[in-house]
Amino acid sequence: MRFIKHLRGKHDQRGHGRRGTSTSARSGGVSSPKPSKVRDPEEQQQYDKSRNDLLEDLRTTYSRNPSGALQLAEGRMQFIASRWPHVTKKAKGYEEDYQRRARAEYDALVDTHKALRSIVSGIEKATNEKQRIKAIGRYTQLLGIEPQNTSSNDRQQKQRQLDSLRHPTKGRYEDGVYIASQRGMAIARALSPNGEFVASRRKSFKEAQQRLDQARNVHAAAVKQWQASMKTPEDDARLQITTNELSAAERMLTRAATNPFSDFPESLFPFSHGLDVVQLGNVRFDAFPDAARELRSISGEVFRFVARFTPPQNRNGDPVTLTRTLAFEKLSSSRAYYQYRKGTREGIVKIDTSDVGVAGHEILHAIEDSHPELSRRVQEFYAYRTQNEAPVPMNTVETNSGYADGEVTRVDQWGDPYTGRVYSADVASRFGSTEVLSMIMTALADAPRMESADGALRTLEDEEHLAFFFDVLGDPDSWG
C-alpha cells in the first residue's frame, strides 16, 4: 500500500486546558486529560464547516463501496494533498479576516489527514481479522456511520455465548478474549448512559442548576427592591429570605456536582464494609490548607466509593489498604497529576481544584501505583486492548485538542482516546502507569453533567472496559 508523505509545515496544536488539568513529562507525574483549543466563533464555524464537508464526501464515497475503506481513505488523503498548495496560498497576501478563514480550512485539512493516516495505518498493519475489523470500526466511527456486515442477531448471539462463559465474580482471558464476570458485567450494564443511574444524576444536576438560576433572579430582584425601600426590619427580613434560598441552591448544586456517587444503586455494591483508617492509608492535606476541608470531603467520597467495590481482605487474609502515604499539594501549573517519589513509599497528588472528577482520577492513579499485582493486571488488560497498535500523537486522534506532540496514545476503541495514553519510563509510576482505571472515575463523575456524547458517556458505553474496572477491584487476588 502506497502512502503519500506527511504534509509539511509546523502546525500549532497547543491551546487552553480541558477541565482543569496539565503537566509536562519533566514533572515525573501521571497527568489528567487536556481540553480543546479555543478558537474565535467565526474561525471555529469555518473549521467545523470544512471538516464536515470533508467527512460528508467520505460518507458519500463509503456508501458506494463500503468494503474499500482502506483505498477510500488513501484516496481522500491524496485529494487533501492536492488541495494543500491552494489552501496555503490563500492564506498569504490577503486581509486578516480572509487569512483567518483560510487558516481554519487549513487546520481542518491537516486534522482530517492525520486522523485518516492513523486509521489507514492500523488497517494495513492488522495481522488478523479482529484487528482489521477494529481498525475499520475506527474509520466508520470517524465518518459517523455504523460498521457494515454486523447484524443485530449476530451480535446478540455472540453476547449470549459470552454470557454463558462468565464466572460469577472473576474476569478471565480465554482464547485471547477478556470475559468479564457476571458481577462486573451487571454493574457495567447498569451504568449505561441510558440507564437509571446516569439519568438520575443528570436529573439531579439539572434540577439543582434550575433552582440556582431561579434563586439568583429572585435575589437580584429583591436586592433592587431593598435598595429602593426604606430598609426597615421587614425589608431586611424579606431580603434575608432570598439570600438564604440562594445559599441553599448553591449548596444543592455543589452537592450534585461534587458527589456524583450519592445516588449510586445500593444493590450494585458487592461489599458492605465501611472505610476505616487501615483501608484508606495515610492521606495528608497539610500542604493544601486553603481547601483542605473540601478536598478531604471529596477524596473521602472517592475512597468510600472505591472501597465498596474492594474486598476487605486480600487472598492472604490481610486487610486491604487502598493507598500508601498520599499527600495532596497545591498545584502551580494547569493540569493536575499524580507523582510518586522514587525511593519512598509516598505519592503526591498535585491539584488546584475541588472537582471530584479530577480528584478521583488522580486518586485512582495512586491506588494503582500502590499495588503491584493490581498494576500488573491493569497493564495486561491495556496490552490486550491495544495489541499491535502503534502509539500515535494525541493531537492526531483528538484533533484540535491542545496536547503536546510528545503526548501519545494507543487508540483502540476506548471511549476517550486519552485512556490509551502511553507514559515513558521516567514518567511512569513504580509499577508502570496507565489511564485504564482513572478514566473510569472521570467518566462516572462527569457523565451526569454532560449533555452530549462526549468521552465520558462513550466510556460508559464500553461495557468490557467498565466491567474490567469492577472485576479487578473486586478480586482479592489483585491486592496481594
Sign of the alpha-carbon torsion through 114, 120, 126, 131: positive
DSSP conformation letters of 327-362:
EEEE--SSS-EEEE-TTSSEEEEEE----HHHHHHH
For 37-86, write each residue's pLDDT tens digit: 566 777 777 777 877 777 777 776 666 665 565 566 666 666 666 666 66
Domain termination site, one of 206, 224, 258: 258
**273 inside domain:** yes
125 with 239, same domain: the answer is no
350 with 431, same domain: the answer is yes
Residues 6+ apart with CB under 8 A from 364: 306, 437, 438, 440, 441
326: helix, strand or coil:
strand
**Full domain range(s) for residue 139:** 39-148
Q: From the CA atom positions of the chain, what is the Rg in Å?
A: 25
- Does residue 212 contact residue 253 with C-beta atoms inside 8 Å? yes
Q: Which residues pair with 349 in a beta bridge?
A: 328, 338
Q: What is the pLDDT of residue 466?
A: 94
**159 inside domain:** no
299 with 385, same domain: the answer is yes
424 with 293, same domain: the answer is yes
300 with 436, same domain: the answer is yes
395 with 331, same domain: the answer is yes
> Does the pTM of the predicted model rise above 0.85?
no
254: helix, strand or coil:
helix
Q: What is the pLDDT of residue 133?
A: 73
250 with 125, same domain: the answer is no
- Residue 329: CA atoms inside 13 Å, Cβ hemisphere, count? 15
For 282-304, write each residue's pLDDT tens digit: 677 655 556 667 777 788 888 88
228 with 103, same domain: the answer is no
**176 inside domain:** no
**357 inside domain:** yes
**128 inside domain:** yes
**53 inside domain:** yes
- Does residue 419 contact residue 459 with C-beta atoms inside 8 Å? yes
What are residue 284's phi and psi, to 5 degrees? -115, 145
77 with 119, same domain: the answer is yes
Q: What is the pLDDT of residue 91?
A: 58
279 with 374, same domain: the answer is yes
Q: What is the pLDDT of residue 243?
A: 92
- Residue 465: CA atoms inside 13 Å, Cβ hemisphere, count? 29
Reading across the β-sheet that carries 346-351, which strands appear in turn? 29-31, 337-340, 346-351, 325-330, 283-284
**Which of the 8 DSSP states describes residue 92?**
S
**Which of the 8 DSSP states describes residue 31?**
E
**163 inside domain:** no
Sign of the alpha-carbon torsion through 231, 233, 234, 237: positive
Residue with cell 444503586: 265
Which residues of the chain fall short of a pLDDT of 50?
A: 1-27, 277-278, 452-453
Domain termination site, one of 232, 258, 284: 258
289 with 251, same domain: the answer is no
Domain termination site, one of 206, 235, 258: 258
131 with 239, same domain: the answer is no
Q: What does the chain come to in residues?
A: 480
How many Å apart are CA 89 and CA 102, to the nearest integer?
Answer: 9
If one counts every other C-beta atom within 10 angstroms of the C-beta of residue 147, the result is 15
- State the total domains in the chain: 3
Angle formed by the axes of helices 41-64 and 69-90, nearest 10° = 150
**30 inside domain:** no
DSSP conformation letters of 106-161:
HHHHHHHHHHHHHHHHHHHH--SHHHHHHHHHHHHHHHT-PPSS--HHHHHHHHHH
Q: What is the pLDDT of residue 276?
A: 56
